[in-house]
């Protein structure tokens, strides 16, 4: 309950796969992995991964429904273990307000587009 009182903006639940790069202090890429965005707000995103993210800087990436590359830099705020080989990580987006909102809009649109398009497997 205390955590909800600290929220500046509401979170929107999504379930969208993202790539992420862990970066060092000089913005050099250390690791490249995949995670699932569980929810997103104007200021941050919660990511579920199969490994603990042990760095402070991170680059989140995905391709939208028009195959455009979308990326945003962030800072890891917390990481908690949520079962065996499951970690939830809170990430604060570090772009300008406009950049963050553009990233969030495209992520949400991509998530809803994916839900509405049937996938045929032969």
pLDDT score for 34: 94
**Domains by residue range for the chain, with CATH:** 2-111 (2.40.10.220)
What is the pLDDT averaged over residues 46-50?
94
- DSSP for 39-56? EE-SSEEEEEESS----S
Tokens of 54: 């042990």
pLDDT score for 21: 93
pLDDT score for 117: 55
Q: Which regions of the chain does DSSP assign to beta strands (E)?
A: 12-23, 29-40, 44-49, 57-63, 69-81, 87-93
Residues 64 and 110 sit within 8 Å (Cβ to Cβ): yes
CA dihedral 92, 42, 111, 84 (to 10 degrees): 30
pTM (2 decimals)? 0.80
């Amino acid at each position: 309950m205390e955590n909800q009182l600290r929220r500046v903006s509401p979170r929107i639940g999504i379930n969208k796969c993202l790539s992420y790069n862990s970066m060092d202090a000089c913005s050099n890429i250390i690791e490249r992995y995949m995670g699932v965005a569980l929810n997103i707000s104007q200021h941050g995103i919660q990511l579920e991964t199969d490994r603990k993210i042990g760095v402070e800087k991170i680059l989140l990436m995905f391709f939208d429904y028009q195959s455009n590359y979308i990326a945003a830099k962030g800072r890891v705020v917390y990481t908690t273990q949520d079962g065996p080989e499951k970690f939830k990580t809170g990430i604060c987006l570090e772009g300008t307000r406009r950049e963050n909102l553009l990233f969030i809009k495209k992520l949400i649109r991509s998530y809803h587009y994916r839900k509405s398009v049937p996938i045929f497997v032969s």
